[in-house]
Chains A and B, each alone.
Chain A
């Protein structure tokens, strides 16, 4: 009995010591992964390019606000996170930050005063960035960005998420890996460039990897099976990028690169969050870099080794037959399709290259969550203007034309039509998405 008490007492002491250490031992900050020469200077434009690749602008700029002055609300399952001011303003921005401070934010998710950042800031991924890129980015923010005095709203999450020190434990799970980028052995330069951009600055996994039990990215590089096999953001599905039916595997490398650069290709168009990523980030990458990303994604496919891109004989599906015959007793879903959708997407659901996306085999249509599809039907979608494809092609919304029941019938038809096989959509699903718009 005494022994038991002693053991228990020892455990308690150990626990207290651990907790005290957890709270009071200073957080370790990762140093540079490469020692650069003292007079190292990034090339002109390099920092801005890294900023584009990392898509800093999108989150750190508020709707209608000054660039990088923060204040944008990011909805997370834990509550609203307000992005910070990362202009070189000394009072409200990062003007007083040293390179080491800056690196620690990107690698370790900590600010100079030791505060832990919420992982809405994708330091899990930025931890892969090279010292050269960190320096270039730091140089850009310090010298090319206009300082803006803008005190942003402080993020106040509910208990227990307001205890930021708790993130320390989370970091041990999520971001404790060796910093910097390790090129894959036996792969060419293009593969490793693509890998670097995808895993690092591009932080693709932040949306496209599933989350594990601790809400960490389930796979931050291609050694993990779940890496980029699809995730969820705010109830929307971020599609799988590696399975045999995924875009990067079904499409040619050129088509995927075109999608990244212009938000459109021969098969599909980018909507929702991905449209924003193209608009704010990917369209500014070089043709070589977008091609490298596409080639890398294709190589890490998990399907039958990159099935030849020879198009199969076109099969006339039952759906196409039904839409072509257009009998008066057609169910509501296909009837609405003919009335409002078929003019562009056609009876075969194949649309037209770069302008009317395919609905047959479209990952948005068959996504686990129908929220994205419902949202596009309700509110339409617009492609961003890019250098190669300047046209803001816009699909109109049908929120005023179709009821919840009608959209449910239409969406269900789309999810079951042609070769699609996805669960039905209910009027309640539609109502939930419709209500979102009125609340925002």
Chain B
């Protein structure tokens, strides 16, 4: 029944951003590599082609690019007193599917975390003392410094093709960029995208208030671009179909535009689609992996793929699921606080204001996923945690990503949601609103975690992964603080009316409305094997030939969109494997 494939040097699980990066880097060392992708193959043309792709109903609402819960999902509960139920209808977060993964349907926002975020626990203890850390908060440092990661952030930004404006080059503050960013060795590879009118207004008013607005950096090409692999992007036309869509214009940074065609030329690299990895197989002594077993959709059988090196490069949730199923790291137990796999699952705390202007016209037919202007004046480095009573921070920005008719027609509260009143409201307000949002950090807590569900199984008979997650007061205080900072900015813009959407004390996690696909933690990196699943090189502590990529490594979530950090860590890990591990396979720490 099961067949065994020819042994490879490396097997990569998942062919999204991190799988493509590791494939490309390790292929340069001549290793024989196979990448296993559970979804389908997809290319700009024909899969994302115009006009088929710009179909909001198919992709924006019916989520055509995402995984189908019937094939793969998690169960969710908010506390251990609840019974987790399967997440049968995607809402809060949207894991992608197919070659390119989430890298095909993201908005393109690309950041490096602020300086304090790499060593948040030490930073807090030094400034305010451990006493301000809530008892149930698993606050941790990254086991790697910003200076160590800087060359790898830079590498990723130049491979991915990021447009932006540097604010700090080697310590020199650059006018017009983000003065609070960690010092970068050079500018972004492309100049920033121009902003739409809402972002421009936000930029003007925040500047007049003494803040430091700058254009949001993102993987949206502001001009023709060629990266180090010879891969290309074309300038964006601001069509506004970024998030939830594949870009038909070669303008959005993705594995397809940045890596894949170059990788496919490597004779020592191959990839198989419709190959869902079921578990990592271990040697008899349990100290190393021998390969992976996957389900071949085409032949409907289990296949063993032997390999010397196993790279888990699937989405964060799937990586942690595979670790739990395969016995990589001790499963985390919130009752005792022991165990590491599934520990420190964290999310993102966002909020915002919507502003309506009777006499202001915003052209809703243009936008990009990374459009707009931002201030980082309330970023995590700039907040007195002791005084404000929370640990965290956020960036605040305005810039429309699209004006799609089903999901992007903001209406003042009280407008009927259907019928003549709704039509009248749309007529009056479509193109007359803007929003200001805060995108905030989310800490890790003892109770929020991932483990295997005792009841529900997937189509392969494997237990589903269970997510136990709820909001916590620390992050709610953070977002309420952001509300108090945004409100005067919004008022200064003098809208006809405005309404807020920030979580309040007592808010419970609701999986139905979309929030963000920034699921992090569960396979966190750390210096201590008791509180982390992987070491500073993303190598599993207990099985040295397994590396676990992706946002699962974040000890807690930063205030930013995670892709920049995910990409930087992928190049960092690839460098360690290439320069050290391959020569002498062993635990690197």
Contact = CB atoms under 8 A, between A and B. Distances in A.
Interface of A: 340, 342-344, 346, 352-356, 380, 382, 385, 387-396, 401
Interface residues of B, number: 27
A414 B223 CA distance: 23
Interface in B189-239: 223-224, 226, 229-235, 237, 239
A396 B230 contact: no
B46 interface: yes
A115 to B, nearest CB: 40
A344 B237 contact: yes
B230 A388 contact: yes
Interface string B95-123: 00000000000000000000000000000
Contacts of B404: none
B262 interface: yes
A7 to B, nearest CB: 72
Contacts of B229: 390
Contacts of A394: 43-45
A395 to B, nearest CB: 7
A171 B234 CA distance: 49
Contacts of B231: 390-391
A391 B232 contact: yes
Contact of A385 (B226, B237, B261): B261
Given A344-B234, A390-B262, A395-B45, 12 more contacts: A342-B237, A343-B50, A343-B248, A352-B223, A355-B233, A355-B234, A356-B224, A389-B226, A389-B232, A392-B261, A394-B45, A396-B45
A343 B46 contact: no
B127 interface: no
A396 B233 contact: no
Contacts of A356: 224, 234-235
A162 B483 CA distance: 87
Contact of A354 (B43, B49, B226): B226
Contact of A390 (B223, B235, B250, B265): B265
Interface string B349-393: 000000000000000000000000000000000000000000000
A202 B248 CA distance: 36
B517 interface: no
Contact of A396 (B46, B237, B261): B46
B249 to A, nearest CB: 6
Interface string B246-268: 00111000000100011011000
A394 B261 CA distance: 12
B283 to A, nearest CB: 37
Interface in B390-412: none
Contact of B234 (A352, A385, A388, A401): A352
Given A344-B249, A390-B265, A392-B261, A355 B232 contact: yes
B235 A352 contact: yes
The interface residues of chain B, by DSSP majority, are classed as: loop
Nearest to A401: B51
Contacts of A385: 261, 264-265
Contacts of B257: 391
Nearest to B236: A343
A155 to B, nearest CB: 36
30 contacts: A343-B248, A344-B234, A344-B237, A344-B249, A352-B223, A352-B235, A353-B224, A354-B224, A354-B226, A354-B232, A355-B224, A355-B233, A355-B250, A382-B45, A385-B261, A387-B230, A387-B265, A389-B230, A389-B232, A390-B229, A390-B230, A390-B231, A390-B262, A391-B230, A391-B257, A391-B262, A394-B43, A394-B45, A396-B50, A396-B248
Nearest to B221: A352
Contacts of B44: 394
B358 to A, nearest CB: 26
Which 9 residue pairs across A and B have the least CB separation, nearest first?
Answer: A352-B224, A390-B262, A394-B45, A355-B234, A353-B224, A343-B237, A396-B49, A391-B261, A390-B261
B512 to A, nearest CB: 34
A163 B264 CA distance: 48
A115 B261 CA distance: 45
Interface in B41-81: 43-46, 49-51
Contacts of A389: 226, 230, 232
Contacts of A382: 45
Contacts of B239: 343
Contacts of B223: 352
A353 B235 CA distance: 10
A390 to B, nearest CB: 4
A401 B223 CA distance: 28
A265 B361 CA distance: 40
A387 B267 CA distance: 13
A388 B260 CA distance: 14
Nearest to B258: A391
A396 to B, nearest CB: 4
Most central of A340, A343, A382, A395 by chain B CB within 10 Å: A343
A394 B256 CA distance: 12
A141 B149 CA distance: 52
- Candidate in A354, A395, A401 with the most chain B CB atoms within 10 angstroms: A354
Contacts of B226: 354, 389
Contacts of B233: 355
B231 to A, nearest CB: 5
Nearest to B45: A394
Contacts of B265: 385, 387, 390
Contacts of B261: 385, 390-392
A380 B45 contact: yes
Contact of B250 (A340, A342, A393): A393
A340 B232 contact: no
A382 B46 CA distance: 11
Nearest to A264: B232
Contacts of A393: 232, 250
A344 to B, nearest CB: 6
A344 B247 CA distance: 12
Nearest to B46: A396
B261 to A, nearest CB: 5
B249 A343 contact: yes
B273 to A, nearest CB: 17
A363 B443 CA distance: 59
Contacts of A392: 43, 261
Contacts of B235: 352, 356
A380 B257 CA distance: 19
A396 B239 CA distance: 17
B265 to A, nearest CB: 5
B90 to A, nearest CB: 29
A388 to B, nearest CB: 5
B50 A340 contact: yes
